[in-house]
Structure 1
Amino acid sequence: MTEDADSPLPPDLDLDAVREALIEWYEADHRPFPWRETDDAYEIHVSEVMSQQTQLDRVVSAWEDFRDRWPTVDALADADRSDVVGFWTDHSLGYNNRAKYLHEAAGQVVDDYGGEYPETPEELQELMGVGPYTANAVASFAFNNGNAVVDTNVERVTYRAFDVPDDDDAFEQAARELMPEGESRVWNNAIMELGGVACTKSPSCDEAGCPWRTWCHAYESGDFTAPDVPTQPSFEGSRRQFRGRVVRLLGEHDELALDTIGHRIRVDYAPEGEHGREWLRGLLSDLTEDGLLTVDESGETATARLRK
Structure 2
Amino acid sequence: MTELPGAVPENREAVQRALIEWYEADHRSFPWRETDDAYEILVSEVMSQQTQLGRVVEAWRAFLDRWPDAEALAATDQSDVVAFWTAHSLGYNNRAKYLHTAANQIIDEWDGAFPETPAELQELHGVGPYTANAVASFAFNAGDAVVDTNVKRVLHRAFDVPDDDAAFEEVAGALMPDGRSRIWNNAIMELGGVACEKTPACDAAGCPWREWCHAYDTGDFTAPDVPTQPDFEGSRRQFRGRIVNVLGEYDRLALDDLGPRVRVDYAPEGEHGREWLRGLVEDLADDGLVSVEDGDESLVVGLSE
Q: Does 1:68 align with 2:47?
A: no
Among 2, 5, 12, the alignment partner of 1:4 is 2
| Paired position in structure 2 for 1:215 | 212
Q: What root-mean-square deviation, in Å, do the aligned CA atoms of Structure 1 and Structure 2 show? A: 2.9
Q: Does 1:45 align with 2:45?
A: no
**Structure 2, unpaired ranges of 5+:** 245-262, 279-305
Among 226, 229, 233, the alignment partner of 1:229 is 226
**TM-score, normalised by the number of residues in structure 2:** 0.78
What number of residue pairs does the alignment pair up?
A: 260
Distance in 1, Cα, partners of 2:45 & 2:8? 35
Query: 2:2 is aligned with what amino acid?
Result: D
CA shift, 1:253, in A, is: 4.6
Q: Does 1:193 align with 2:198?
A: no
Check the 8 A contact 1:85/1:96 in 2, yes or no.
Answer: yes
Q: CA separation of 1:221/1:67 partners in 2, compared to 1, >3 Å: closer, same or farther?
A: same
| Paired position in structure 1 for 2:271 | 292
Check the 8 A contact 2:81/2:100 in 1, yes or no.
Answer: yes
| Cα offsets for 1:157-206 (capped at 9, x unmatched) | 00000000110000000000000010000000000000000010000000
The 5-angstrom pairing of residues 133-172 of structure 1 reads 133-172=130-169
Q: Does 1:77 align with 2:56?
A: no
Q: Does 1:36 align with 2:33?
A: yes
Q: Does 1:128 align with 2:125?
A: yes
| Paired position in structure 1 for 2:99 | 102
Distance in 2, Cα, partners of 1:209 & 1:187? 18
Query: 1:4 is aligned with what amino acid?
Result: T
**TM-score, normalised by the number of residues in structure 1:** 0.78
SS of structure 2 residue aligned to 1:181: coil
Query: 2:88 is aligned with what amino acid?
Result: H
SS of structure 2 residue aligned to 1:206: coil
Distance in 2, Cα, partners of 1:38 & 1:252? 43
The 5-angstrom pairing of residues 222-261 of structure 1 reads 222-231=219-228, 249=236, 253=240
Check the 8 A contact 2:219/2:237 in 1, yes or no.
Answer: no
Q: Does 1:23 align with 2:23?
A: no
| Paired position in structure 2 for 1:238 | none
Q: CA separation of 1:250/1:94 partners in 2, compared to 1, >3 Å: closer, same or farther?
A: closer
Check the 8 A contact 1:101/1:129 in 2, yes or no.
Answer: yes
Query: 1:293 is aligned with what amino acid?
Result: H
**Structure 1, unpaired ranges of 5+:** 234-241, 258-283, 295-303
| Cα offsets for 1:229-269 (capped at 9, x unmatched) | 00258xxxxxxxx89x958x389959659xxxxxxxxxxxx
Distance in 2, Cα, partners of 1:10 & 1:254? 20
Q: CA separation of 1:67/1:220 partners in 2, compared to 1, >3 Å: closer, same or farther?
A: same
Distance in 2, Cα, partners of 1:145 & 1:307? 47
Q: CA separation of 1:122/1:250 partners in 2, compared to 1, >3 Å: closer, same or farther?
A: closer
SS of structure 1 residue aligned to 2:24: helix
Q: Does 1:206 align with 2:203?
A: yes
Q: CA separation of 1:47/1:307 partners in 2, compared to 1, >3 Å: closer, same or farther?
A: closer
Query: 2:215 is aligned with what amino acid?
Result: A
* Sequence identity (%): 67
Distance in 2, Cα, partners of 1:254 & 1:157? 20
Distance in 1, Cα, partners of 2:277 & 2:14? 37
Q: CA separation of 1:125/1:186 partners in 2, compared to 1, >3 Å: closer, same or farther?
A: same
Distance in 2, Cα, partners of 1:254 & 1:213? 12
Q: CA separation of 1:121/1:89 partners in 2, compared to 1, >3 Å: closer, same or farther?
A: same
CA shift, 1:112, in A, is: 0.5
CA shift, 1:306, in A, is: 3.5
SS of structure 1 residue aligned to 2:59: helix
Distance in 2, Cα, partners of 1:212 & 1:139? 26
Moved over 4 A (4+): 250-257, 284-288
